[in-house]
Structure 1
């Protein structure tokens, strides 16, 4: 326990600067599952209760890959006649003390590239999974009674800041006006709805979303992959596109779509992106063969129990129950361009007329309790004619 407490004390106080100084050790600590569980999971924690630049987690599905972004990895800061270099990695805004300004023409400035990905919480996650995740996420939020000033929305307490006397934040990207080290904020009305910005794959089951900025291994991620992200939270109000100064060539809806309010869609600067095998919170993140206390006898008993339940649900039809179980555990799936290969469909017919009107809903409720992710889509004429079944890129956020 002493070791775990010491490790968590380290992780809870990690800043981008601390991480860059001891990257290998912090990543080693994050590989331990018990340490990961102690980091706030913003799927279930209100970001208003978290500090800007604090370490957070987010679990979701990679929905879209956005354009690369060039940023200042290191930049020169001038104060009177003194010049110092400031780290810009894992941050969205310049960090300035009182009476400081950024020297954008300094030869010591170093540019870097990062990639943004749009991640939504896993579509179709069932309620029992969310309930277990909330119970496992009982973390006391950071609170602060300080008032904020200038453009900074959620500042960390001054005694927690390693660099800051009186901090100002200026976006690293261009559409703002920098004058004497200050940020010119010109707020325009938001023209895009909350639903449009969140872009939930299942409209009647809204998801949370994050824009995750990654700094390496760009090509390792694939669309629709479910990942766990650990990184630094960025929720400064200056990131909101409706605060940007626009020129005559900017389209206001495009700017707002590419820069949604961080209070709705926070940014995370990732230090760890880990693919997830499944999202069942009751099962370890490992393959079934690696679970040493599950022998062949236990597996067979579990299989028989599940088959018995499904057989009862299917009016005693053991063959239909076997097919349904095979359908539920099947993972064969390959996408070739727009064509899906290996998707297994199962049709159940000859349902007794006396229960046909309610049977489908009742069967789904049983299946819903077995699966971490599912969705019931009634095959009505309106749904078949009106719903969009294939993904469509909206164009504005790409």
Structure 2
């Protein structure tokens, strides 16, 4: 006779408990069921990805938060903005001879007494934000599809045995109703406070002040006008082992909300106050996690996946990567994209070729301090906007790039914006949080810097430091994080396009191309099918492997020696740019190795660009 059925989608907590009970029956001691997750991760991954229903799980920020029932299965796709310390909790306890678990829950009623044998476990807390600079077509590609992911399909979530508060049998308690209880719980707790417990009272006031002065800490103000929210993700069983800061991750788990924990910051057992000295001693360490659940929902992570270019390729519907694309089709797609880029920058074919290589560039290897593969681009001769408005070219280029690349951002380099606030992240030790900056972005995020917006004036200390941060990013593809007592370099991979009237004297670019426009820059107007092809083309080209064959290396070496003999001013940076462009040229034709004709194309581009620079 089989065990009780489990419903991973509508009752994930119940499914976890079924597996836990099974593990307990087979265990001889508590250590036996603490060595593994009892098959929870395997079960949910088999269900979600084996049946290909992961895209139907409701995604926080794709639906109304208050429409998601508490304890339902949800997902959150975002960037890891901060990593908090390990959190310890009572993961299992004994009652009446039977073992119970509180795993994948914020808090639970744990009975007191020596016979409970509480088991202390730990989990990792990650503060995740909506992906900064993510463009709308990516959000649509990952949004829930019809079926199990519809809100109506998950509303009939029956109550689960052992919950902290009983729920109505016909449906789960709505999040907005639960949040409405928070203020009442706070007031009741304050009324129960003993006037003599000064330490407890003081710590609660500190916690309340931290909540009311909360900074959601979103890079690029990712909350925007669409009311997107960050998420506090609690990760179990070492699932975060290969996750690092600024990774884009999709988490699947249980949505939880506990107003007492959100208001006070510490769980309570059977309504009893936690020891005042303990709470007072550790309140400052917990201020960082006192995030109101109405603004920062909690997700108890069961499984996760990192979002890579391969994930994006498999998500895009057009030109399925499993079907080989013939070379003529690649050439046609490449040429049509070049035509689009040429239209965007005013009809300049040479600049369009550089733009294409720039969009394909990425850091593929690091040798010592050098980032190989980057190709920042400075287009000069750009007209400034009228009365402080962005440059027309900046608007048309950034709008088109937003339709081509997954993540992008236009940053006007005005005197006001540079002097306003630091664009590099810094550590706030008082709050024990990493305060974000505009340069805390996921790998592959494209930046367009509009230098035409920079007017005459004086940079303050913040503005000077911001320019230094941008220069460091352009030279080394690294962002310096300020930890007050020292600075830590974090590797980055952000293609940067600089638009300026003359060659930028403040920001060094790998390639400088003077524009020779024959028309007014205009936002591209191809249909959505064209953009879909170009997106997949760019993603697949950036993801492909490329090698240099020995046969072509001799040709490249001979050309570099001959070029050096003709012009002694050529230095290593020029040769490095040529090799990078050659690799990108081959990749733009989806060729896994460099062919002589692609090398000649790069030399021709550089020759024509050098002539322009000489004339300017």
Task: Give TM class, smaller chain.
Answer: 0.7 to 0.9
Q: Determine the structure 2 residue equivalent to 1:41.
A: 59
Q: CA deviation at 1:196?
A: 4.1
Question: Is 2:362 the counterpart of 1:364?
Answer: no
Q: TM-score, normalised by structure 2?
A: 0.50
Q: Determine the structure 2 residue equivalent to 1:118.
A: 127
**Farther off after superposition, 342-351 or 136-145:** 136-145
Distance, in Å, in 1 between the alignment partners of 2:289 and 2:407 is: 29
Cα pair distance change 1:366/1:267, threshold 3 Å:
same
Distance, in Å, in 2 between the alignment partners of 1:34 and 1:297 is: 33
Question: Is 2:266 the counterpart of 1:232?
Answer: no
Q: CA deviation at 1:269?
A: 1.1
Q: Determine the structure 2 residue equivalent to 1:64.
A: 82
CA distances 1:277-301 after superposition (whole Å, capped 9, x unpaired): 1499785279x99532433333222
CA distances 1:344-363 after superposition (whole Å, capped 9, x unpaired): 42111123679994232222
For residues 1-398 of structure 1, the aligned pairs below 5 Å read 10-15=8-13, 16-18=16-18, 20=20, 23=40, 24-32=42-50, 34-77=52-95, 82-95=96-109, 102-103=111-112, 105-106=114-115, 108-131=117-140, 133-134=142-143, 136=145, 139-141=150-152, 142-143=154-155, 156-158=167-169, 190-192=208-210, 196-203=214-221, 205-206=223-224, 207-217=228-238, 218-242=240-264, 247=276, 249=280, 255-278=286-309, 284=315, 290-332=321-363, 341=371, 344-351=375-382, 357-395=391-429, 396-398=431-433
Task: Report the secondary structure of 1:376's partner residue.
Answer: strand
Cα pair distance change 1:108/1:251, threshold 3 Å:
closer
Cα pair distance change 1:340/1:361, threshold 3 Å:
farther
**Farther off after superposition, 33-42 or 244-253:** 244-253
Cα pair distance change 1:221/1:336, threshold 3 Å:
farther
Stretches of structure 2 that go unaligned for 5 or more consecutive residues are: 23-38, 173-188, 190-199, 267-272, 434-616
Does the 8 Å contact 2:90/2:120 carry over to 1?
yes
Does the 8 Å contact 2:125/2:234 carry over to 1?
yes
Q: TM-score, normalised by structure 1?
A: 0.74
Does the 8 Å contact 1:51/1:156 carry over to 2?
no
Distance, in Å, in 1 between the alignment partners of 2:221 and 2:366 is: 23
CA distances 1:183-216 after superposition (whole Å, capped 9, x unpaired): xx99868435788432101137545211111112
Cα pair distance change 1:38/1:319, threshold 3 Å:
same
Does the 8 Å contact 1:191/1:253 carry over to 2?
no
Does the 8 Å contact 1:133/1:281 carry over to 2?
no
Larger Rg: 2
Does the 8 Å contact 1:152/1:237 carry over to 2?
no
Distance, in Å, in 2 between the alignment partners of 1:354 and 1:106 is: 74
Q: CA deviation at 1:119?
A: 0.9
Cα pair distance change 1:230/1:205, threshold 3 Å:
closer
Q: CA deviation at 1:129?
A: 3.4
Task: Report the secondary structure of 1:377's partner residue.
Answer: strand
Does the 8 Å contact 2:231/2:298 carry over to 1?
yes
Does the 8 Å contact 2:223/2:229 carry over to 1?
no
Does the 8 Å contact 1:228/1:276 carry over to 2?
yes
CA distances 1:233-270 after superposition (whole Å, capped 9, x unpaired): 11121221447679473587764442211121111111
Distance, in Å, in 2 between the alignment partners of 1:204 and 1:107 is: 45
Distance, in Å, in 2 between the alignment partners of 1:8 and 1:309 is: 52
Task: Report the secondary structure of 2:53's partner residue.
Answer: helix
Task: Between the two structures, name the one with larger relative contact order (CA 8 Å, sep ≥ 6).
Answer: 1
Task: Report the secondary structure of 1:328's partner residue.
Answer: helix
Task: Report the secondary structure of 1:57's partner residue.
Answer: strand
The structure with the largest strand share of the pair is 1
Does the 8 Å contact 2:362/2:375 carry over to 1?
no
Q: CA deviation at 1:226?
A: 0.5
- Superposition RMSD on alpha carbons, in Å? 4.0
Q: CA deviation at 1:158?
A: 3.7
Distance, in Å, in 2 between the alignment partners of 1:375 and 1:309 is: 20
Q: CA deviation at 1:112?
A: 1.2
Q: Determine the structure 2 residue equivalent to 1:180.
A: none
Task: Report the secondary structure of 1:102's partner residue.
Answer: coil
Distance, in Å, in 2 between the alignment partners of 1:88 and 1:216 is: 14
Q: CA deviation at 1:48?
A: 1.6
Q: CA deviation at 1:8?
A: 11
Aligned length: 354
The structure with the largest helix share of the pair is 2
